[in-house]
Structure 1
Amino acid sequence: MYNDAFNPSRFTKDSELQDILMDSYRSTKVYCEVFHPDIFYVQFGRLHDDIFELIDDKKAKKKVIAAPRGLGKTSIGRAIISKHILFRDIHFAPYISKSEGHAMLQTENIKRELLSNDMIRKVFGSIKISDNPMGIPEEFSKKSWVALGNTIVVPRGSGQQVRGLNWIKYRPDYLMIDDLEDDDTIDNERIRGDRRIWYYGSVEKSVPQFPGIPWELLY
């Protein structure tokens, strides 16, 4: 989900800030440290470096992170989406979790951080202001919201429709799956079977089907 032609001068004329933006664009780790120091205030360790290496791998479309609880995977996932939104890399981002309510909680956290983060507002401006010449309507609710007139974020729960979703001319091009399994049902074979059918039949088939159109899925 990276643009080799990324040009930081669209955001600032300050050469020093341009260098920071370029480093942040190339490295999710740097982005987290620069733009979200209040969230990532503990120094990253070796496991984090392995995760960031996978995240920044341009070749892989489907990525799976297996990490112990407490490592900050959910926080990193939210930062990834905010980064792609701010740098205009993605257009349609479903956030999928074990329930719509849980997914909505995380997408609201992303929205709140983008709206209240002083560094983000200084560099990128308000995400409520569109810079899209198409004049796309600014939907802004818990069910879904549009940032910068360029990206829609939609929370989805396990089993809910993902395949067939379209926004303007876009299909989901960045899918974040987080905490999909419920501790109370993870050992239930029937539920796991239904979830498997839904994942392969709806989630994976929701992305652009034509070759050459970039998309990514992170689980």
Structure 2
Amino acid sequence: MIAGVAVVVPAHQEERLLGDCLAAVNRALDACPLPPHARHVVVVADACTDRTASIARSAGAHVVSTRHRNVGTARREGAKYALRLAHGLAGDALWLAATDADTLVPEHWIAGQLQLAREYDAMVGTIDVTDWSPRAPGSAQCFARVYQRGGGTGHPHVHGANLGVRASAYCAVGGFPPLPCSEDHALVTALEIGGYRVHRSRDLSVLTSAREDARARGGFGDYLTRIL
């Protein structure tokens, strides 16, 4: 049974969007059945020279400051800090959730993951876009055609902006690798190879940005540029 949860958010120069992201994360944590002392948010301020760290602290998050400029390393450092926060809690009782600083999670996001944790070791969800104005006209329709949401209960996607994993499973496969992109795919592949139960949820979808100045080269922003 899950007795603690930590949400890890990597952030590079995210003073404009981070506040809304953390407000949504805090709403999702408040709506979950765990007590306040068992809920944490860890923001990894990676190579930031703006107000990212101070905004995170104002929102009640723990802040880890790094200079790696590498999203895989940032997620890894955030998860390591989250594990320290949960010192004394068995790994199978701690849930690690991940999202991005330009992303808005729904209010049922944590509660839904904890429900899935009764049967699964990890969850990967889908994404949608909040605002298509940074992209060319017709981008929303193109994305809707190309982004396959799958049938039944599955889908083919993995997003660092929308995943969760039991801490014991995360540690057993070595955690997020220090990659500049696709660290989320590498983690989920390692979990599946290791025989852990991964649920591909269509019900836990998050909203993210369509900005063209992507923080992680090769990530979702570049994916949009390729398909649109």
TM range (shorter): 0.3 to 0.5
* Greater helix fraction, Structure 1 or Structure 2: 1
* Greater strand fraction, Structure 1 or Structure 2: 2
